[in-house]
Amino acid sequence: MLIALLPGDGIGPEVIAEAVRVLAAAGARDLVFETAEVGGAAYKASGHPLPQATLDVARRADAILFGAVGDPDCDRLERHLRPEQAILGLRKELGLFANLRPAKLFPELADASALRPEIARAIDLVIIRELTGDVYFGQPRGLRKTDKGLREGFDTMRYDESEIARIAKVGFETAMARSGRLCSVDKANVLETSQLWRDVVMEVSADYPEVELSHMYVDNAAMQLVRAPGQFDVIVTGNLFGDILSDQASMCVGSIGMLPSASLDSSAKGLYEPIHGSAPDIAGQGKANPLATILSAAMMLRYSLGQADVADRIEAAVSRALETGHRTADLGGNASTTAMCDAVIAALG
Ligand code: NAD
Ligand code: IPM
Ligand code: MN
């Protein structure tokens, strides 16, 4: 199995190194790693955030383990040269339209949640975020001058029905494998894109009579996520709303440093990454929480590599490491990135 390792920028290389250590210690089988540059690091080395060589490795690989991209030095570059284009380009080029972002409270972290422990304890949900459409990719977009000579920026929110139907199916299938409840989040009271979204999700629901479907406006969903997050099981939503709601959900379970993700196409191929970014404010200081990336590696074993047994062992070890009190600063502790990972490895037993 070829794993493309794309560490990227900021804390990306720090957390990827720890995830690789855990994969080895947990006894993951038959993995060959190939590392490639991506993001600001790739731009600085070769003038492009997603060099052809990196895209080639990603295409050849059975799975991709991705750190993070983003570099303040690059924020004023032309858009197509910015580090973020690397992850957007990989998602689009590889057709990774389904982004699974599970948020489950490790009971030991009830007091790290931004919510009261009795509310946080109920959280066990997954956000299914559409990843290759929406206002992220809609055309036209740009910056221009209006007739009055004012600067104007514009983007296009758009989905066609096939894009909505295929992510809705992932939502229904996921709900079938869990509690049988699916909440579709949109802004159909204002946006045409969302009206179509809602109509198509309802049409697809005809094939899943066992699933209890509900709809919620995104502003209400943001509120409900902190009021009573236990009501959610599977949430399906568009690219932009899913981006925002998943950062919010991460803090409900303790930290942005806790949430892993899988970005899947319609086969077993996937890209696995923490939901957080390159965290330039703490990069190079040994402070980053590596657990989101370690849990992403576990998702990779489960979804792309057929090694659910090893994935289970890693997830149990994360839980035990937290039980024994190890915490990075984002969780209110003082363990370094490496010490946190050492605790996970020790807990593998
Ligand atoms: P961020 O997720 O990088 O950081 C937000 C805050 O959370 C920061 O205070 C950071 O220190 C903290 N944080 C994030 N991950 C952490 C971890 N593992 N452990 C402890 N603390 C952690 O978001 P941002 O600051 O808005 O963006 C920084 C850069 O990252 C930007 O260039 C942005 O575009 C990029 N970004 C990339 C990705 C990705 O590669 N998929 C995701 C989000 C943001
Ligand atoms: C994420 C990030 C990306 C997104 C950025 C860096 C393009 O925020 O993976 O959540 O918006 O999808
Ligand atoms: Mn994000």
Q: What angle do CA 233, 238, 239 make, to 5 degrees?
A: 115
- pLDDT at res. 14: 98
Residues 86, 121, single domain; the answer is: no
**Of 217, 236, 252, at which residue does a domain stop?**
252
pLDDT at 268 over 90: no
Residues 295, 87: Cα–Cα separation, whole Å: 19
Residues 86, 196, single domain; the answer is: no
The answer to whether 182 touches 172, Cβ cutoff 8 Å, is yes
Residues 168, 88, single domain; the answer is: no
- pLDDT at res. 230: 97
Residues 151, 169, single domain; the answer is: yes
Angle at which helices 239-252 and 218-227 pack, to 10 degrees? 10
Residue 109 falls inside a structural domain? no
Residue 107 falls inside a structural domain? no
**Of 252, 273, 300, at which residue does a domain stop?**
252
Residue 199 falls inside a structural domain? yes
327 is in an annotated binding site: no
Residue 314 falls inside a structural domain? yes
- pLDDT at res. 349: 83
**Of 252, 274, 304, at which residue does a domain stop?**
252
Residues 178, 272, single domain; the answer is: no
- pLDDT at res. 127: 98
* d(CA 253, ligand 1 centre) in Å: 17
Q: Which ligand 2 atom sits nearest the alpha carbon of residue 240?
A: 11
Domain containing 316 equals: 1-101+260-349
Instruction: Give the mean model confidence (pLDDT) for residues 183-205.
Output: 98
- Of 136, 159, 272, 303, the catalytic one is 136
Instruction: Give the mean model confidence (pLDDT) for residues 155-169.
Output: 98
- pLDDT at res. 20: 98
Percent of the chain with pLDDT over 90: 99
pLDDT at 30 over 90: yes
Best residue among 263, 278, 296, 331 to mutate for probing ligand 1's pocket (most ligand atoms within 8 Å of CB) is 278
Residues 124, 232, single domain; the answer is: yes
Residues 246, 264, single domain; the answer is: no
CATH number of the domain bearing residue 213 = 3.40.718.10
End-to-end CA distance of the chain: 25
Please give the C-alpha separations between residue 109 and each of 99, 247, 258, in angstroms, as whole numbers: 24, 17, 10
CB-ligand 1 contact for 87 (6 Å cutoff): yes
Edge-to-edge strand list for the sheet holding 181-186: 32-35, 2-8, 63-68, 270-274, 260-264, 98-104, 124-130, 234-237, 181-186, 212-217
